[in-house]
Amino acid sequence: MNAPLRTPAPLGTAAAYREAIAEALSMVRIQAELGETYALLADDAGLHYAMRKLAAQAGFALGTLSDLEKMKIERARRKA
């Protein structure tokens, strides 16, 4: 039996940012594992592709983390 699907967090919330970061980090982990396999197989094309995908997903996660921090600062400023 499959696990029930979770309801995604509402857009624009801190939870939505965290979900996007978690998803990107999961992809980083997958690309790292693929890269390791390609390296062990001496598949340079696959290794290059996996490394580029890993860097792109890590960059997305970092950018989204920056956006989350900016949102939190803006909300704190509005409350003050």
Number of domains in the chain: 1
Residue 27 burial (CB count, 10 A): 16
* pLDDT tens-digit map of 11-68: 889 999 999 999 999 999 999 999 999 999 999 999 999 999 999 999 999 999 999 9
pTM, whole model, 2 decimals? 0.83
**Domain membership of residue 35 as a residue range:** 14-79
In a domain, 8, yes or no: no
Nearby residues of 39 by Cβ (< 8 Å), 6 or more positions away: 47
In a domain, 4, yes or no: no
In a domain, 26, yes or no: yes
